[in-house]
Structure 1
Amino acid sequence: MIKVGIVGASGWADVAHLPALAALDEYRVTAVATTRQESADRVAARYGVPLAFADAGALTAHDDVDLVVVSVRAALHTKVIRAALEAGKHVLSEWPLTVDPDEAAELAEAAATAGVTHAVCLQGYHSPGARFVADLVAGGRIGRLESVVMVASGGPLGGAAVAPQHSWTTDPAGGTTLLTIMGGHFLATLERMTGELAEVSARLPHLYDSVRVGGTGETVDGGVPNQVLLHGTLAGGATASVTIHGAAGDPDGFYVKLVGSEGALTVTPGRGGDYLHWAEWDIRADGERVEVPRAYRTVSLDPADGPAANVAAVYRDLATAIGEGRAPNPGFHAAARYHRLLATIERAARSGAREEIA
């Protein structure tokens, strides 16, 4: 049994991590931490967790914690991760790993040196649909992959207005933007199907110098991109075209098309309002619906039920990795590569030139 401590146990962790862990026999949540003791006590009482802290350091050092889950704002990740590594604990970090690509590389090396198991919650890697499509492409279902198109909504980020609880996301220093959050998740899920991007050219349109804070009459500085546009080439030679558009409200879906020499696959959401990396997928091969075989579902939760399903699949792979002494997928080194990819997109947008991904 892996004993889990969650730092940042309210918000997203309450929506995805805690329900995911409740569905898995390999884990027991033994500790939670938030910034206030009252909120930590409330979460602990709701889920029957024995330990509650207002100090992340106390959680990471506690003997009843084997795995530290980092689910605080991205700018705070590094401090918690380093404390967990120094305590010799396994670590699962929410995406993004940090706010700086060099720091992401440093954390990956620190985790390797610590000899612990480390993972990042890019849950699209474990989407049943993504894994199935990856096997269809690798198995030659559409022949040689020639081109890839993805259009996806990044709401509630990147629009002309933002909800009060998201007003801090318009500051690039926070590390939570249309490019970093949605771009990271969507591109990781896309590459899970197609293989890695090798080079990109990009634009990051900045449409709003100020952004309305919904229901308040206030505005905040709009310091982050409102759209992500990129063209690229995959390592296998196929071309890729990606558009991630900002929106003031909930996401309105996504569309992915993979064209090969002998056919095409399309992916759309099974229902509206879901993101690529956690949705139930509607997959079509040359227009005919293709069902994802049950064997691709590694947990009892279903993507149609919400974001906890693919997060649970991340945890299942992590438990297996800990038991087998292998690296989970994706780990901190994969996360560092995605930070380099996003930095390359930013560099390409500034230079107007085609940039190789290191």
Structure 2
Amino acid sequence: MTATPVLVLLDHAPDGTLRPPVRELLTLARTLAGDAGVHGVWAGSEDPAAALDVLAAQGVSTVHRLVTDADLHLSAVLADGLETVAAATGAELLLLVSSFENKEAAARLAVRTGAGVVTDADGLAVEDGRVIAHKTVLAGTWTTRCKVVAPRAVVTVKANSVVAEDAPAGASPQVVDLPVEVRATSTRVRLVERTELAASGRPDLGSAHVVVVGGRGTEGDFSAVEELADVLGGAVGATRVATDEGWIGHDAQIGQTGVTIAPRLYVGAGVSGAVHHRGGMQASGTIVAVNADPDAPIFEIADFGIVGDLFTVLPQASAELRRLQG
């Protein structure tokens, strides 16, 4: 890498506030940018004013606001915008939060520009001028290092991979409007409707530090799971069988065909630990399992296991946590 800024896509909510994993990306970007600094990319019609204080504390010097009449929620249009910013700044490294939408945009950008793309990274370094991405593969059983040999690297980073910290010295971010020329092919798909999920009061599943998961053992009753999640300030997840049975929405499914998570604390209640579920959570920091079956496969990877009835164990845990919290 040469002395060029590191770009970070600033994912944000409809009210213009940054989504929590963005602070982690900005912290990581500072360790890689050196004197070139960190630049943010703002995609959307929302005013970035609500995010400027956070960006200032993170040491972001410039925010490039993409300006286009096309819908930046379309991955092809977003890829056009990211290509424009990369060309304008000469940036050789672009970081995005690892989400379905961002991974699609990253792939499109890599194809158009010849960049090397790595998805679901959990660490980054620069060695001998090359970006090295760390990631776990094969259901979390292998840790790999991927060297990007192309001139530009596009990397999506999993939430909870970095502890977010403010910069030693703040900055005064300058917002710069950047017109985007959108390819005709990028608008062949039209977004008819977009509905934001109703706020649940809980953190987003993909970025939560704590996730409490219910499986077949709940028999459809997620009350104890939800109670513990609320006490811990965490998100609620589920296994595939729970979503297929209609006990909870499919957006809560964790696994190879659902959401991949890496929280600092994972609590599985009534979760057997089938391989397709383990593939989506095995990178968690600490794994706690509660299951009535002492031979459940999840105990093989659990840091702390409890053989017992989840409807007894979870309420007791919630009550004790409330007592400790005062």
Which TM-score band (shorter chain)?
Answer: 0.3 to 0.5
Greater radius of gyration (CA): 2
Q: 1 or 2 for the larger relative contact order (CA 8 Å, sep ≥6)?
A: 1
Q: Where is the helix percentage greater, Structure 1 or Structure 2?
A: 1
